[in-house]
Amino acid sequence: MSNPLDVAEKVAGPLPELSADEIDAAAKRISEIIEPTPLQRIERLSALSGADVYVKREDLTAVRSYKLRGAYNLILQLSDSERAAGVVAASAGNHAQGVAYACKTMGIQGRIYVPTTTPKQKRDRIRAHGGQFVQLIAIGDTYDAAAAAAADDVARTGATTVAPFDDPRTAAGQGTIAAEILEQIGGTPDLVIVPVGGGGCLAGIGTYLRERSPATAILGAEPAGAASMTAALVAGGPVTLPEIDPFVDGAAVRRIGDLPYAAVSKFGGRVRSHGSLPLLTATESPRGAGSFRLMQVDEGAICTAMLELYQNEGIIAEPAGALAVAALAEIRMEPGATVVCLLSGGNNDVSRYGEVIERSLVHRGLKHYFLVDFPQEPGALRRFLDEVLGPDDDITLFEYVKRNNRETGAALVGIELGAPDGLGPLQKRMHDSPIQCERLDPGSPAYRYLT
């Protein structure tokens, strides 16, 4: 099976170098169909952080993500023979929509491979954008499986791959976001926060800022369950993660691209002697003008950011789209600093909001699960409600795990607290009660069955 990271090398002719000049050329090239997206100041985020916070609204493009930029920039540069052979792409969903839109716009046939875990909303939008010009193929349960299938297709058919991140033309198109930010901000932003999946967007934006605004600090935000850029910088090259959490589907990539790694490794991030990358933690600020850091963001924190954006600003962000905003909540900023968060996409399936709310509650310390052995006698549940539960606590799940004629029956009980500090008193009441209770810790094997 072909290595999907080698596919970009199979196009005819040498590929351009990723540079600020090439990104400026890409901006001019794609301007025929892609208008600049708004740079919106968010009062709530500014008040919470003490900084002057702007959000780059890539969710407002024609395909509701920044991926259209890279896909269109690449396809526009194909030769007539390459266009005639058709294109192939692999994507978790957003890049596929960009490719589909470009194929329909230019009348090019394309085959798009997505993992079976891609939300239905994204699959429907791919078909809508591509129409008769695109064939959608769902295969495997991760982006990397879809990428391998796409690579095999290219090897068999001679089609041209439209890489989602590991191609300088794709990265240059995505880097046009940085050119727009500098023009719209009318100066030098102190910090730009970029979500990181395969690394193409970070490579493009970072390359442009390093050349055109070197005093701007850059923060790459990765989902904690798929930190492939961190792994690459620690290892000294791209590595394949053995396991990832696919929840942040737009950034859940097992292995970053070679080109993004080569670009990002030049941004000044370093590996400490004990083997860990310098990551930002809560209350730590990005130090030094022009600095580069990576940060891993918990999936639950991303869900909280999604819900807050929706409830306060009316912005529908997908998990990867909310990554940068979630990272902002975890760091300390200098008062008055100018910060830009890239809201990379808004293709969120409404059916996922149940899981989004659940993960947010768990992250905020409001949702907990217990195995409770109830005595098989009348009034046992009533005593649990009266003696164990607090006045602001609610049972959100109650399922008997096993109930028979024995003295006790085990039940799985989900409890939502009124406040995070209610867990300690709840556990004390459980300890003092004759009813046996065991908390299921997040991350434990038993807990994984709940999420």
User: Which is catalytic among the residues 67, 91, 228, 291?
Assistant: 67
User: Which is catalytic among the residues 56, 344, 360, 367?
Assistant: 344
Provide the token pair at 319.
Answer: 């998990």
DSSP state, residue 345: B
What order of strands is seen across the sheet that includes strand 338-343? 39-41, 52-57, 338-343, 191-195, 217-223, 292-297
Phi-psi region of 158 (alpha: psi -120 to 50; beta: other; left: phi over 0): left
Dump strand ranges (E) for 376-435: 394-402, 408-416
DSSP string covering 164-207: SSSSHHHHHHHHHHHHHHHHHHTS--SEEEEE-SSSHHHHHHHH
Would you call 188 exposed, middle or buried from its count of C-beta atoms within 10 A (0-12, 13-18, 19+)?
Answer: middle
- Whole-angstrom distance, CA of residue 137 vs CA of residue 150: 10
- Asked if 359 and 247 count as a contact pair (C-beta separation under 8 A), the reply is yes
The CB-side HSE value for 31 (13 A sphere, CA atoms) comes to 10
CA-closest candidate to residue 115, choices 26, 293, 266, 246: 246
- Asked if 320 and 199 count as a contact pair (C-beta separation under 8 A), the reply is no
The DSSP bridge pattern shows strands 292-297 and 217-223 to be parallel
- Asked if 41 and 132 count as a contact pair (C-beta separation under 8 A), the reply is no
- Asked if 374 and 383 count as a contact pair (C-beta separation under 8 A), the reply is no
344 is catalytic: yes
- Asked if 402 and 410 count as a contact pair (C-beta separation under 8 A), the reply is yes
DSSP string covering 228-263: HHHHHHHHTS----S---TTSTTT--SS--HHHHHH
67 is catalytic: yes
Provide the token pair at 27.
Answer: 């901006």
Grouping H, G, I as helix, E, B as strand and the rest as coil, residue 70 is helix
- Whole-angstrom distance, CA of residue 59 vs CA of residue 409: 49
Active site residues: 67, 344
